[in-house]
Structure 1
Amino acid sequence: MGAMSESVSVRCPACRREHVYEASSYPCVCGVPVAPALDEHGAVTAVAHRAWDEDWVVVRCEACGRRTQWPYPELGCGCGTVLRIPVAGPSAAASPRAAAPARRRVFQPVAIRTARDAVTAAALYLRWLGYRDIRRADQRPPSGIGLAARGLLVQVDPTVRPATLRDVECLWLTAMTESTSCVYFSLAGFSPDARTRADVLGIPLFVLDLTGTPQAVNSHADDLDADGA
């Protein structure tokens, strides 16, 4: 896998429109940007439905050799079709697995433009903290998107409304039944009573800004950011 982004010409299978796609690069924990190698001879496919395991691809950093999961290359066509760009080499879709570095580097965010970006930003941050086996949660939360890691239940709310008291309590109750800790990421922040209850229940709250950087809302989030997994 190269550290430099590359571009390929792709054709939408629905409307036959031609596009030039450039692979996005992401920062490895060693600090070097990596990007998936694109297969210019492979077949572009339309995304008919979402499956968490199919949304990720393994990318190897040439600098340190670490293999990490990153979002599978996709492109939105003007006709409304979402195109999945083929990748070259032995890369395989897989649920993300965190590799906790011995010493954490500065977190490198990914800009948020879509709800999927918000989930990606939260997953990258959790990986940076040192959590392993990040995946879709078994139970879907009442709002937002649920993730899970080893010993942790996560809720990511990419909507434009602040998370409510009920949202926070539902996350806590679900985590209690699974005997795990929990953390909440919200794009629009939290209502005052939700923040108060989270403080009492010991739930770290983070607001995701549009750069993809989680901002700690309470002291529990400050502690998690400082100490990691």
Structure 2
Amino acid sequence: MGAMPESVPVRCPACRRERLYTAPRYPCACGAPVEPRLDLHAAPTAVAHRTWEEEWITVRCRSCGRHGQWPRPELGCACGAVLRLPLTDPAEGPADGGEGGGGAAGAETGDRTGPPADTPEGHPSDSGRPTDTPPPSRPPFRPIAVRTARDAVTATALYLRWLGHQDIRRADQRPTSGIGLAARGLLAHVDPSVHPASLRDVECLWLTAMTASADCVYFSLAGYTADARARADSLAVPLFVLDLTGTPQPVNAAAERLDAPDA
């Protein structure tokens, strides 16, 4: 992988206009940047119909070998068409596992935020006493700017991975509004609307998580009503507000505990 992200000229098949596209970079759990490899010899295709499985691709980190699921590269043309960029790396393709979370991405990233196997963390020393090696701290969170509802979902998925949940997928049960994401033992609700989340929104997420025996967390672009915040506090539901940089800001004590460096 080069030092700079890959930039290629892309010609829209609808209007024939050409734009320069820079491949996105995503942070792997090991800290190395991961970017999809674009096929320079294939033409982009216009997106006519969306399915969740086609929105994500599995990309292998060339530094540590982990497989992660990331948004498929797309480009919005001024004519209104959304272009899907072709990929060339054989390790990249539709995200495996789909809604069940199985497949390479779920299998090879199961170590979550734990240190590598050869990293000392409280193992006995030669003297028989535990070492004083401190637990590893999280690297800085690298957000993406939020301009669309899809950006809000991507920013939330990046943040959940930063927290240690590598098996992010669409929730099996779709919420009545917004987008539901799931990981092992966790349900997340992303609300990209311009209206503050209501008490009912928070309660619905909590009840759904209770049914699934999972924890839950709420992400909103427009904040929360006062009664929604009070109810979330009583239920210990973490509430975050996504700012335009894509950085989730904790709203209540449960979210601050989740966001803490030593969480």
Greater relative contact order (CA < 8 Å, ≥ 6 in sequence)? 1
Instruction: Tell me the percent identity.
Output: 68
For the pair 1:184 / 2:218, whether they are aligned, the reply is yes
Quote the offset at 1:199 in angstroms. 0.5
Return the match for 1:110 from 96, 119, 144. 144
Write the letter of the residue equivalent to 2:94. Answer: A
Give yes or no for contact 1:3–1:62 (8 Å, CA) kept in 2: no
- Once residues 111 and 35 of structure 1 are traced to their aligned partners in structure 2, the CA distance between those partners, rounded to angstroms, is 17
Quote the offset at 1:32 in angstroms. 3.2
Which has the higher Rg, Structure 1 or Structure 2? 2
Counterpart for residue 154 of structure 2: 120
Quote the offset at 1:179 in angstroms. 1.8
Write the letter of the residue equivalent to 1:60. Answer: R
Give yes or no for contact 2:36–2:89 (8 Å, CA) kept in 1: no
Describe the superposition over 1:76-116 as per-residue Cα deviations: whole angstroms up to 9, x where unpaired: 11111100011111111216656523232121111111111
- Once residues 184 and 245 of structure 2 are traced to their aligned partners in structure 1, the CA distance between those partners, rounded to angstroms, is 26
Give yes or no for contact 1:187–1:207 (8 Å, CA) kept in 2: yes
Q: How does 1:71-110 map to 2 (within 5 A)?
A: 71-90=71-90, 91-94=92-95, 97=106, 100-102=112-114, 103=136, 104-110=138-144
Per the alignment, in what secondary structure is the counterpart of residue 42 of structure 1? coil
Write the letter of the residue equivalent to 1:113. Answer: R
Further displaced range: 17-26 or 175-184: 17-26
Describe the superposition over 1:156-183 as per-residue Cα deviations: whole angstroms up to 9, x where unpaired: 0011111111111111111122221111
Structure 2: gaps (5+ residues): 99-104, 115-135
For the pair 1:32 / 2:66, whether they are aligned, the reply is no
Describe the superposition over 1:124-177 as per-residue Cα deviations: whole angstroms up to 9, x where unpaired: 111111114211111221221111111111100011111111111111111122
Give yes or no for contact 1:2–1:34 (8 Å, CA) kept in 2: no
Structure 1: gaps (5+ residues): none
Count of aligned pairs: 228
- Once residues 3 and 116 of structure 1 are traced to their aligned partners in structure 2, the CA distance between those partners, rounded to angstroms, is 27
Give yes or no for contact 1:145–1:157 (8 Å, CA) kept in 2: yes
Counterpart for residue 128 of structure 2: none
- Once residues 186 and 2 of structure 2 are traced to their aligned partners in structure 1, the CA distance between those partners, rounded to angstroms, is 33
Write the letter of the residue equivalent to 1:216. Answer: P
User: Root-mean-square deviation (CA), in Å?
Assistant: 1.9
Give yes or no for contact 2:58–2:93 (8 Å, CA) kept in 1: yes
Describe the superposition over 1:171-213 as per-residue Cα deviations: whole angstroms up to 9, x where unpaired: 1111122221111000111111000000011101011111111
- Once residues 210 and 181 of structure 1 are traced to their aligned partners in structure 2, the CA distance between those partners, rounded to angstroms, is 26
- Once residues 101 and 151 of structure 1 are traced to their aligned partners in structure 2, the CA distance between those partners, rounded to angstroms, is 15
Counterpart for residue 43 of structure 1: 43
Counterpart for residue 136 of structure 1: 170
Off by >4 Å, runs of 4+ in structure 1: 95-99
Further displaced range: 146-155 or 15-24: 15-24
